[in-house]
Structure 1
Amino acid sequence: MTSASARTFDVRHVQLARAAFAAIAAVMITFSPDHSAAVGAAVFSGFAIATGMVLLLAVWLVYPAGRRWPAVAIGGITLVAGMAGGLAPLRTVSGFFTVVIVWALLSGAVELIAGSLGLRGRTSRREIVPGVADARPAAPLAPRSESRDAVVVGAVTMILGLVLLFVQPEYALDYTVEEAGQTFTLTGTIIGVGIFGGYAAIVAVYLGIAGFSPRPAGADAVTDAPAPADQKDSA
C-alpha cells in the first residue's frame, strides 16, 4: 500500500481547498450589501458544492482504504445540501435556515465523530497488553493533527447549526443612523446570513493555518501497515 507521504495530494491540500472556498464565501457575504435569504442561499450553495466535490475527489486522491468513510459521508451530505440550496423554491427565508441547519448538524456530527474516533483509535493502539495477541487487521490511522482538526471543525459546524436554531427569521428591528439620516431594519435573515459568513471566516482561517502548518517528518505519518499486536521479549 502507498503511504500518504508518497501521494501527489495529501490532507493539507484538502484543508487548503476547503479554506479557500470558505474564505470566498466569507468575503462574498461580508462585502455584499444584500444579506437576503436568496443571496445567503446562493453563497452557501456554491460553497457547499465546491467543498463537497473536493471531499469526494479526496476519497480517491488522498485517503487510503479504511479512512475514506468520513470524506464520503461529509462530502455527500455537503454536496446534496449545496444542490438543495441552489434550487429556486428553497431560496427563501425558511429554505435557507432549514438547509443550512440540517447540513451543519449532520456534517458537523460526522466530522466530529470521525475526528474523535481517530484520536481514540490512536490512543488505544498505544495500549499493548503483554502476552495477548490480536489477529484482527488494524485499520490505517489518521494523523493526530488531522483528527484534532476534524474535531474542531466538526464542533464549530455543529455550533453553527445550533446557533441558527435560536435565530428567529421573523425578527425585525428598526434603527436610525443619524449621521446618514437613514433608517434601516435588522432582520433575523440578515443575522442568520451574517452568522454563516462568520462561520465561513473562522473555518477559512483555521483550515488555512492547519494546511500551512509545518508537520514533523514521521510524527503524523499515515501508514497502511497494521501495528504489531504483541511485543514479546526475546529470551
Structure 2
Amino acid sequence: MPTAASRTFSVRHAQLARALFAAIAAVMITFSPDHSAAVGLAVFSGFALSTALLLALAAWLVASPGGRWPYVLLAAIGFLAGMASGVAIWRTTVLFFVVVIAWGALSGLVELLAGLRARKAALAAGQPTDVARDHILVGVFGLLLAVAVAVVPAQYAWGYTIEGAGDFVLTGITLAVGIFGLYAAFVAVFLGIAGLSPRAAASSAVEDADAAATTAERGGVA
C-alpha cells in the first residue's frame, strides 16, 4: 500500500480542505447581520455536510485500512448533524443548541480519542506525532464548542440601547451562533497553519496508528 508521502491526496490536503470549509463558515457567520437559528443552522449544515464528505473521502484516500475508523465515525456524525440541520422547517433555536452541542461533543470526543491513540502508537513506533497532535487539539476545540454553547441559556434576552442607533436585544441564539462562528475561525486558522507547516515526516500518525501499534506489539518486526 502506498505511503502517505506518495499519495496524491494526503493528510496535509485534508487539513487544508477542512480549514477552507471552516473559514467559509466563519466568514458567513461573521459578516451576516442575522444570527438567527435559521441562518446559523443553514451555515452549520453546509459546513457539517461538506466536512463529512471530505472525511469520507479521506477514509479511503488517506487512511490505511486499520486507521479508517476515526474518519468514518466523524463523517457519519457530521452527515447526520448536517442533514438534521438542513431541513428548513426544523430550524429552530432549540434544534440549533441540540445539534451543535451533540455534534461538538461527539465529533470532539472521537477526534480527541483517535489523536491520543495515534500519538501513543506513533511514539511506540518512533514515528512523528505532529498530525496526532493536530487531531487532539481539533478534538478539544469541538468539546469546548459543545461546552460553550451549552452554558448559554437558549431563552436569554438582554435589551440595550445604543445612542443614535436605537434599541437592540442580545439573545441566546445570537450568542450561540457567534460562538460557532468563533469555533470555525479557530479551526480554520489552526488547520490552515498545520496543513502548511513542514513535517518531520510526511506520514500521518492517525492513518498509520494501527500499523504502528501492531509493529510495537511484535517487538518492532513489521
Q: Same fold (TM over 0.5)?
A: yes
Q: What fraction of aligned residue pairs are identical, expressed as a percent?
A: 53
| Residue pair 1:23, 1:200 contacting (<8 A) in 2 also | yes
Indicate whether 1:146 and 2:131 are aligned.
Answer: yes
CA–CA distance in 2 between the matches of 1:124 and 1:216? 16
Which protein is bigger by CA-based radius of gyration?
A: 1
CA–CA distance in 2 between the matches of 1:95 and 1:186? 19
Q: 1:177 is matched with which residue: 148, 151, 162? A: 162
Structure 2 unaligned spans of 5+: none
Distance 1:165 1:83, change over 3 A: same
- AA in 2 matched with 1:24: I
| Residue pair 1:18, 1:51 contacting (<8 A) in 2 also | yes
CA–CA distance in 2 between the matches of 1:44 and 1:111? 19
* Structure-2 residue corresponding to 1:164: 149
* Structure-2 residue corresponding to 1:19: 19
Distance 1:217 1:119, change over 3 A: closer
CA–CA distance in 2 between the matches of 1:194 and 1:84? 20
CA–CA distance in 2 between the matches of 1:197 and 1:206? 14
CA–CA distance in 2 between the matches of 1:31 and 1:149? 28
Deviation string 1:23-76 (CA, Å, 9 cap, x unpaired) is 000000000010000000000000000000000011111111111000000111
* Structure-2 residue corresponding to 1:54: 54
SS of aligned partner of 1:216: coil
Question: Greater CA deviation, 211-220 or 93-102?
Answer: 211-220
Matches within 5 A, 1:21-170: 21-125=21-125, 143-170=128-155
SS of aligned partner of 2:66: coil
CA–CA distance in 2 between the matches of 1:13 and 1:219? 13
CA–CA distance in 2 between the matches of 1:230 and 1:193? 50
SS of aligned partner of 2:161: strand
Indicate whether 1:187 and 2:171 are aligned.
Answer: yes
- AA in 2 matched with 1:145: D
Structure 1 runs, 4 residues or longer, greater than 2 Å off: 122-126, 216-231
CA–CA distance in 2 between the matches of 1:174 and 1:55? 42
* Structure-1 residue corresponding to 2:199: 215
CA–CA distance in 2 between the matches of 1:61 and 1:103? 24
Distance 1:103 1:210, change over 3 A: same
SS of aligned partner of 1:176: strand
CA–CA distance in 2 between the matches of 1:218 and 1:94? 43
| Residue pair 1:90, 1:96 contacting (<8 A) in 2 also | no
CA displacement at 1:90 relative to structure 2: 2.4
Structure 1 unaligned spans of 5+: 127-140
CA displacement at 1:220 relative to structure 2: 6.3
The number of residues matched between the two structures is: 216
Distance 1:220 1:75, change over 3 A: closer
CA displacement at 1:218 relative to structure 2: 6.2
Cα RMSD (Å): 2.1
CA displacement at 1:209 relative to structure 2: 0.3
TM-score, normalised to structure 1, is: 0.86
